[in-house]
Amino acid sequence: MSRATKRKHVLREIDDYSPPTKNQQIVKVVASKGNNLHEVETADKSRFLVSMPMKFRKFFWIKRGNFIVIEPIQEGVKVKGEMTRILTNEHIKYYKQDNIWPDFDNNKKQSEGIFDNDLPMKANSVPAMIETYSDSDESDIDYSNDSDCD
């Protein structure tokens, strides 16, 4: 299979909005440990290592704060799971609407007043600066010295 064909199949898997199966779970990436190992945290605050399969390695970057779906590895001592799907903001919205989404930061959301439908902004996007002017700003301008422009 060529590299382009492999990429096409991997990218097609991203569009899959099916919920995780009963043995899969949604986790949050806490840190990258190298050698395609990532430390993750479940909704009940337990932490462990998961591995990234070969099909994702050259096509996706996983960073701290991303959400993924993992499948547990029974014989794993240190590495206890393997990534099966990488979740996007659209996945998160869909899972929250269907009440599939686990409650990761329940105490933090309540204390900061963050709503459930708010999603974190992408790291590389910058909010646009919008300046608004009211009518009162224009009334402060003195037009009496316009004769100097002649």
Residue 23 CA to residue 11 CA, distance in Å, equals: 23
Q: What is the pLDDT of residue 135?
A: 52
Exposure pattern of 48-58 as b/e (b: 16+ CB <10 Å)? bbbbbeeebee
Q: What is the pLDDT of residue 3?
A: 74
**Residues in Cβ contact with 60 at an 8 Å cutoff, skipping those fewer than 6 apart:** 86
- Torsion-angle region of residue 34: left (phi > 0), alpha (psi -120 to 50) or beta? left
pLDDT, tens digit only, all 150 positions of the chain: 787 777 777 777 778 899 999 999 999 999 999 999 999 999 999 999 999 998 888 888 889 999 999 999 988 888 999 999 999 999 999 999 999 999 887 645 443 444 445 555 555 554 544 444 445 555 555 555 655 555
Q: What is the pLDDT of residue 110?
A: 40
Residue 55 CA to residue 111 CA, distance in Å, equals: 40
Q: What is the pLDDT of residue 92?
A: 93
pTM higher than 0.85, yes or no?
no
Q: What is the pLDDT of residue 7?
A: 73
Q: What is the pLDDT of residue 121?
A: 55
Tell me which residue has tokens 């029974």. Answer: 74
Residue 93 CA to residue 116 CA, distance in Å, equals: 9
Q: Please count the other Cβ atoms lying within 10 Å of the Cβ belonging to residue 142.
A: 6
**Residues in Cβ contact with 3 at an 8 Å cutoff, skipping those fewer than 6 apart:** none
**Residues in Cβ contact with 56 at an 8 Å cutoff, skipping those fewer than 6 apart:** 10, 62, 83, 86
Domains and CATH numbers, the chain: 3-112 (2.40.50.140)
Q: What is the pLDDT of residue 104?
A: 83
